[in-house]
Amino acid sequence: SDARGGSRALGGSATMADPRLKQNEVILEGWVYDLDAFGSKHPGGAGALNMFGGSDATTHYYMLHPHQQIRTKALEPFKLRKAESPTGPKAELGDSAFLLNTQAYQDLKQRVRKAIPYQFATWEWYVKAVAIMGLSAYLEYDSVASGFAFWKSAILGVLMAMIGLCIQHDANHGAVSPKGWVNRVWGFTQDWIGGSALLWKHHHVLMHHAETNVEGDDPDITGELIRFNKLTTWKGHHKWQAFYTWFLLPLLPLSWHFKEIYDLSVMRHCDRKMSSMARQEALFALAFRFVFIFRFYAIPLYFHPSLHTAACILTCLGVGGAYLGVNFVISHNFEGAKSVLNTADRAKHTRRDWAFDQVETSSTVGGRILGFFHGGLNYQIEHHLFPRISHVHYHKLQPVVQQWCLDNKIKYTYYKSLPENIASCYKHLSMLGNAKQIG
């Protein structure tokens, strides 16, 4: 433990499969547990655990549970052995970039539990979810039955994005209900819109949330096409990234729909091997994907074989991709966004409170109205601190987090409007694109 009350958590990162573990094992606070055996006892169901097989899930445990300490008594029957020390200063070798479960984060959890005693979805969430799903299904049917129109396809694109933001996002974080099967059912809405609940959890929950803005570990900032982090190697085309990034966002759904078929087949996503415990879920995901392609592409083009139909389909994808893409790209890329690592040499990195860095790598924009349409993800700071709280509560969570930040002298970045946040993101991308070395 650190002097500030934070655990170093042996092998605390889960961004890459941990070489010290079998696929049915997991590390929590330096101890190896039989994840397969524990699955039948897990309150949220065994399916919620499969993606953690072969990883250290200490970060995720504290992030996803309201209690302040690991419940070692309940886990004792499944304890196998003491974990070996990390084999190197990298997340893929089991070394965390953060201090976990500090006194400051425990204090925040206590404040939040008082403010939000029931963390799951309310009637507001269910009414909105049913309305979005119903209207989306109707527009798909009407387009095939009555003919395609650009305005219908554009609205459908917005609705499909809202399914991703408002429905599946809460569900696949386990934030809709304390009952695992309820979250799983609603989570499959990600497959309905051509994604994969499994791949989303692998990418977003397992990797991005655990290692936000850690270059090389967070898949949302790791890559060569766009330079999102100062440690990413600069290339000539980055000079133009503040301009071309926005035109790439509408293309995202096409990439997801087809590239992910390969990822599910080989059980590898975002350059990380997926746990073999999730193999059955991957097979279901492949089946759902082929049904989606038949429903979304084949049926429309069969009944209305024309360039107009193809253009309407692309309009739907472009509008939905832009809606989703803008929401996510501005959340962690803005003027002053913290880069967790200041040097590529992880041995020189000084660990800091995970919760502090979640705040300073994220930004919040707007208020409750924007949150209604964005699934609360405009409250990105609040979401990253408590991803298993339903987004309908984020407007109540915000003042609690803001006061905690003031008490701990943590920078809380807030934008009054979406254009202001987008402008800040543009400047951030421009700065990174025009500076070969920063810091």
Strands 272-273 and 268-269: antiparallel
Confirm if 178 and 246 have CB atoms less than 8 A apart. Answer: no
Confirm if 324 and 190 have CB atoms less than 8 A apart. Answer: no
What local confidence, expressed as pLDDT, does residue 349 receive? 82
Maximal C-alpha separation, the chain? 67
What local confidence, expressed as pLDDT, does residue 88 receive? 60
What local confidence, expressed as pLDDT, does residue 72 receive? 83
Q: To which H or E segment does residue 157 belong?
A: helix 150-162
pLDDT in tens, the chain (439 residues): 343 344 444 334 434 457 788 888 888 988 999 998 898 888 888 888 888 988 888 899 999 988 878 888 888 999 999 988 766 655 555 567 788 999 999 999 999 999 999 999 999 999 999 999 999 999 999 999 999 999 999 999 999 999 999 999 999 999 999 999 999 999 999 999 999 999 999 999 999 999 899 888 899 988 889 999 999 999 999 999 999 999 999 999 998 999 999 999 999 998 888 988 999 999 999 999 999 999 999 999 999 999 999 999 999 999 999 999 999 999 999 999 998 988 887 778 888 899 999 999 999 999 999 999 999 999 999 999 999 999 999 999 999 999 999 999 999 999 999 999 999 999 999 999 998 665 4
The CA–CA distances, whole Å, from 374 to 101, 112, 163, 400 equal 29, 22, 10, 21
What local confidence, expressed as pLDDT, does residue 96 receive? 72
What local confidence, expressed as pLDDT, does residue 17 receive? 59
Tell me how far apart the alpha carbons of residues 225 and 123 are, in angstroms, rounded to a whole number. 42
Burial label, 245 (beta-carbon count in 10 A; 0-12, 13-18, 19+) = buried
Cα-Cα-Cα-Cα dihedral of 46, 214, 225, 255, to 10°? 10
Q: How many CB atoms lie within 10 A of CB 131?
A: 12
| Confidence (pTM) | 0.91
| Residue environment code for 289-306, b if the CB has 16+ CB neighbours within 10 A, otherwise e | beebeeebeeebeeeeee
Tell me how far apart the alpha carbons of residues 432 and 242 are, in angstroms, rounded to a whole number. 9
Across the strands, what pairs with 56?
27
